[in-house]
Amino acid sequence: MQCLEHPVEKLRSILFSTRKDLIEAYEQYSQAEKRFLEGSLLPGSSVFTAITIHSNSDWIPAHPEAPQDFQSFYSNPYRSTPDPGHKTIYIQTIGCLTDGAGITEQYVEWLREYCEAFYYGLRVKLLPAVTVAATSCMFRVNSNTNNLQLHAGDLLTFLKKIKPKDAFCIVGITMIDLYPKDSWNFVFGQASLSEGMGVFSFARYDDNFYTHNYAGKLKRTLKLKPGDYSVFQDYYTPPINSTLLLRSCKTLTHEIGHIFGIKHCQWLQCVMQGSNHLEESDRRPLDLCPICLRKLQCAIGFKIADRYKALLQWIEKESSAHQSDKPTEAFQDYRQWLCKCLSILEATNK
Ligand SMILES: [Zn+2]
Ligand SMILES: [Zn+2]
């Protein structure tokens, strides 16, 4: 295992930038926020730690990319920033996420509330769920894994047509696996950053996906007819549990982060780290490192403590509108982490 440690001075210049206006903008943070951010860069920080590389199949060795500091994020003319007429994130559910429409509705409401806390200050709205047939997308059976897959590009074409005028972005989510083109095995998701849209599948976050007896495998003898969507009517959906909810929250916020123009993080452990496989994705934390936090904060303009409080409230809040309890067991480490961050932010306030 390799530890990707950066000297504190380097991390400070990545956070502050070298541009005079951006250094001045940094001064707008409260004393407490500055002490929190700067303390987070120190090697002994109790809240942020160095990225570790476990093998050559991890994202960083497998996909060399130029790292993105705050200044290069800020200076990118193609990044998207919400404005008063475009400050809503829309979530479009495609097909059933879970067993039964009622549970899908509840699940997606938990995701909506989570995104609204994470992107604190923006509205997150659900569009009425649609069936796979309503998108008119192409589909196929994957010849290796024998599960159903939807054509990601066709889903983006559908999302483009229905994107509301006041949208900052629209994201499609589905429990059915995706493929980008015939020659590819699968894809976790696909996005068009310039058009503010993306589509993501949580199918491979089901613990059983890679097992031999995965219930989403179709019978080898089944013949699919193009345009006949009846095969989706009672297609397998995974059982809802805390791990699936955590993975879905993590993927969704990571992918929306890209729509803001935030690239893969190479500075400290962060939800914006790239991931090449499920084990690496599970290793990533749920939240942003101080550098990516500044990127998001400058795009939206929240108080850091308010955002952490909203996330904490999401974990602690009972489900109100529905009967079942939100499965938050997997979020308990994150709850403690948020409490620690808030205690630092509030202690330095005095
Ligand atoms: Zn990514
Ligand atoms: Zn980061």
Q: Which of 255, 279, 280, 316 is catalytic?
A: 255
Distance 186 CA to ligand 1 centre (A): 16
How many Å apart are CA 131 and CA 156, to the nearest integer? Answer: 15
Active site residue 255: yes
Single-letter residue type at 295: K
pLDDT tens digits for range 102-129: 678 889 999 999 999 999 999 999 999 9
Within this chain, do residues 94 and 237 fall inside the same structural domain, yes or no? yes
| Two tokens, residue 275 | 């991931």
Of 300, 299, 268, nearest to 284 (Cα)? 268
Please tell me the number of the ligand nearest to residue 254's CA.
Answer: 1
Q: Which of 219, 250, 281 is the last residue of a domain?
A: 250
How many Å apart are CA 136 and CA 253, to the nearest integer? Answer: 27
How many Å apart are CA 32 and CA 39, to the nearest integer? Answer: 10
Please tell me the number of the ligand nearest to residue 69's CA.
Answer: 2
SS3 328: coil
Band the pLDDT of 348: cuts 50, 70, 90.
low
Is 277 contained in some domain? yes
How many Å apart are CA 130 and CA 30, to the nearest integer? Answer: 44
pLDDT of the residue at 226: 82
How many Å apart are CA 257 and CA 272, to the nearest integer? Answer: 7
Band the pLDDT of 130: cuts 50, 70, 90.
very high
Domain that holds residue 107: 88-250
Within this chain, do residues 145 and 208 fall inside the same structural domain, yes or no? yes
pTM (2 decimals)?
0.94
Within this chain, do residues 97 and 228 fall inside the same structural domain, yes or no? yes
Please tell me the number of the ligand nearest to residue 280's CA.
Answer: 1
Distance 276 CA to ligand 1 centre (A): 9
Distance 293 CA to ligand 2 centre (A): 7
pLDDT of the residue at 34: 96
Within this chain, do residues 232 and 120 fall inside the same structural domain, yes or no? yes
Structural domain count of the chain: 2
Distance 203 CA to ligand 1 centre (A): 17
